[in-house]
Amino acid sequence: MRKWFAVGTIMALVVAIPAIVWAFDPTGSSDINRQFFKFRTGTVTNSSTTFHTVPGLDSLADCMTGTVSATLSLQLSGAPVVLRIKDVSNAGTFFLEPGNIRVAPTGTTPFSFTWVDRVGINSFETFSVQWKTPSGGTTTAKAGDLLLQYPAGSGCPV
């Protein structure tokens, strides 16, 4: 009986250890063959202390596999703001790495940052930019864009 328990434990570790290492590995690479962007013009403001979607920089959706990079560019002014990229897929809701980014505009500040993450194989993903102002002060975005770069998937469940 102990022999079978030992064999079962070893088999479980053989399967679990690579999965755990992959989950915590902070690197990734893919052959990028697709990009998708959205931009907004005009002014939008936010003074919420909880995350909300930036109007016009949401619902970028496609079938993909491997890694994704999301580059956000904004013209910001006003109170410090925290930004993140939300990813909703058939596997759940996630936030691209490295997560929340704090920006403290001085005057009108151009800002650009790239988030990255791994997505599932042939996974349908929907991305949105979210922001909040921790102090409750007003932050203004005058213009901006979100660019996604990723390998195309095929046969995604919608």
Does residue 144 form part of some domain? yes
Nearest to 109 by CA among 131, 78, 150: 78
Does residue 23 form part of some domain? no
Does residue 56 form part of some domain? yes
Q: What is the CATH number of the domain that holds 122?
A: 2.60.120.1340
Which has more pLDDT, 53 or 2?
53
Please report which confidence band the pLDDT of residue 32 belongs to, taking 50, 70 and 90 as the band edges.
confident
Domain span at residue 110 reads 30-150
Percent of the chain with pLDDT over 70: 80
Does residue 12 form part of some domain? no
Domain count for the chain: 1
> What's the pLDDT tens digit per position in 79-128?
999 999 999 998 899 999 999 999 999 989 999 999 999 998 888 999 99
Does residue 108 form part of some domain? yes
Does residue 87 form part of some domain? yes
**What's the rounded mean pLDDT across residues 54-66?**
92
Does residue 4 form part of some domain? no
pLDDT for 144 equals: 95
Residue 37 structure tokens: 């962007």
Q: What is the pTM of this model?
A: 0.79
